[in-house]
Amino acid sequence: LAKTTQPISMDSYEGQEVNITCSHNNIATNDYITWYQQFPSQGPRFIIQGYKTKVTNEVASLFIPADRKSSTLSLPRVSLSDTAVYYCLVGVISGFQKLVFGTGTRLLVSP
């Protein structure tokens, strides 16, 4: 499994764009990058997944450079409700794998 490294915490203000970067230097050819969001006292929920270049959905965008050794989750115009822990996972999406979470990035959005 590719090891991931994320900042422990980030602070932002309402209305700003937030970019959270995840490093995964030993990502394998078949690995995908997946991000989850977790609110206090809840289980994580899937946000976005990608393999290369850029993926966008109604919640976020995921930017993956050509070498795929890092990825950036972009949250446009955050609100107080985006305060949560964000996890970056790297692994294959077929076959057998452990689905390992790290410690994540704690994002605090202030008024």
Chain contacts with other proteins (rule: CB under 8 A): 36, 41-46, 49, 87, 91-104
**Minimum distance, C-beta of residue 46 to other proteins, in the bound complex (Å):** 4
Residue 78 CB, nearest approach to other proteins (Å): 22
Q: Are strands 53-56 and 84-91 parallel, antiparallel or unpaired?
A: unpaired
Q: For the chain, how big is the Rg over CA atoms in Å? A: 13
Identify which of residues 41 and 66 has a Cβ nearer to other proteins in the complex.
Answer: 41
Taking a C-beta distance cutoff of 8 angstroms, is the pair 30, 92 a contact? yes
At 46, list the tokens: 């899937």
- Closer Cβ to other proteins, 16 or 32, answer by number: 32
Please, what is the minimum distance in Å from the beta carbon of residue 75 to other proteins?
19
Cβ-based nearer residue to other proteins, 48 or 109: 48
CB of 13 to other proteins, least distance (A): 25
Q: How far apart are CA 44 and CA 48, in angstroms?
A: 12
What's the length of the chain?
A: 111
Q: Is 49 helix (H, G, I), strand (E, B) or coil?
A: strand
User: Which one, 16 or 106, has the nearer CB to other proteins?
Assistant: 106
